[in-house]
Amino acid sequence: QLQLQESGPGLVKPSETLSLTCTVSGVSITSRGYYWGWIRQPPGKGLEWIGSISYSGSTSYNPSLKSRVTISIDTSKNQFSLKLSSVTAADTAIYYCARRGGVTATPLVDYWGQGTLVAVSS
């Protein structure tokens, strides 16, 4: 059974870098055809795609966040990570790690982590 689990600080100071890790269990992160990504949800608001990374390390990012985002993959630990720099209060959100399934032509999130709330505050 595939599971994703986010980990990282729940509080980040303004202007600093938010760092989260997603640990994948139940499947190899290098399995062909899958992408791994991050999606966030500000409290009481909708979903926003942050970016994704392929099993081979190819990345794509939301243009609105691209200048501040880095997603990387650590195959030895079966993990992938998110770094978001120069955070402000607007970056306060529940951050979900997720898997894009390989079946559909249009990206579909078929597995989600439980989400972790990250607050940006001094």
Partner 1 sequence: QSVLTQPPSVSGAPGQRVTISCTGSSSNIGAGYDVHWYQQLPGTAPKFIMFSNNNRPSGVPDRFSGSKSGTSASLAITGLQVEDEADYYCQSYDSSLTWVFGGGTKLTVL
> Of 13, 14, 110, 119, which lies in the binding site for partner 1, with binding defined by CB under 8 A?
110
> For residues 16 and 37, what is the distance between their CA atoms, to the nearest angstrom?
21
Q: Hunting for tokens 């599971």 — which residue is that?
A: 3
Stretch that binds partner 1, among 19-27, 46-54, 67-75, 85-93 (CB under 8 A): 46-54
- Would you tell me how many other CB atoms lie within 10 Å of the CB of residue 59? 16
Residue 86 structure tokens: 């120069």
Report how many residues bind partner 1 under the rule CB under 8 A. 23
| Binds partner 1 by CB under 8 A, chosen from 62, 70, 78, 85 | 62
| Residue of 76, 88, 105, 122 interacting with partner 1 (CB under 8 A) | 105
Euclidean distance between CA atoms 33 and 117, whole angstroms: 29
Applying CB under 8 A, does 106 fall inside the site for partner 1? yes
Q: Residue 59 interacts with partner 1 (CB under 8 A)?
A: no
